[in-house]
Amino acid sequence: MAVGEVTGHGTVLFEARAGMDRTGKWSMAAVVLGCLLAIPYAFARNADSDLSENLLIIGATYVIVLVTVLLTVVHLNARIVVTETHVIKHRLLRRALVIPRAEVVEAVVTREYAVPGASGPRTILLDRNGQVLLVSSPVRELSDVEALAQAAPVVTHVPVLHPAEARVRWPHMLPWSHANPRAGVLLGAGLVLGFIVLGLLAAVLFA
């Protein structure tokens, strides 16, 4: 959508598109490269295997690469549009999130969202009860994030938003994993470890 375009929710005043930080780019590249390197390794290790087994390995590898690329495309397709009356967050494969600007009471803007794995600039739009209406991620440009905040009548600037401080001032603003980053990291690590253990058990039981 172009600025000035008339939509069903009014004339577009501002539009911002999603971006990907350096960590995200390197993570995606690592997954793709690791999967592609797994193919010659699998062939070298299973030189005596039949063709169907090697083709299965190749197929599984390309499925992982395809899923990674698809998730990246979905991430980068997101955009946020502001009109005179609404704020709309468009996401591929998901229903658009439409927020009437009349419900937006405050915008919290930070240059650095101090949560591991979710750092960077961020704007959070809140209603009168302090509940989150919309979060600017995955929009990452600081100028876009700050411009989005103008959709709110009150803008609060916090140079660095720490979870502990946010919980005190805006108790309903952060999701549980962000409000308790250490516990969130431990829970994520536990889930990954659990999948690894299940995979090892399956390999032992069905070998």
Domain spans of the chain? 6-18+77-185, 22-75
Give tens-digit pLDDT for 72-104: 776 667 889 999 999 999 887 778 899 999 999
Global model pTM greater than 0.85: no
User: 1 falls in which pLDDT band (50, 70, 90)?
Assistant: low
Q: Identify the burial level of 103 via C-beta atoms within 10 angstroms of its C-beta, where 0-12 means exposed, 13-18 middle and 19 or more buried.
A: middle
**Burial bucket for residue 190 (CB in 10 Å: 0-12, 13-18, 19+):** exposed
Query: CATH assignment of 6-18+77-185?
Result: 2.30.29
pLDDT band (50, 70, 90) for residue 62: confident
Q: What is the structure's pLDDT at 140?
A: 81
Q: Which whole number is the average pLDDT over 4-29?
A: 75
Q: Which residue has the higher pLDDT, 40 or 12?
A: 12
CA proximity to 137, closest of 196, 76, 66:
76
Compute the distance between CA of residue 122 and CA of residue 135 in angstroms, rounded to an integer.
7
- Give mean pLDDT, residues 39-64: 67
pLDDT > 50? residue 207: no
Is residue 128's pLDDT more than 50? yes
**pLDDT tens-digit map of 152-204:** 999 999 999 988 888 889 998 988 777 776 665 566 667 667 766 665 665 55
Residue 108's pLDDT is what?
96
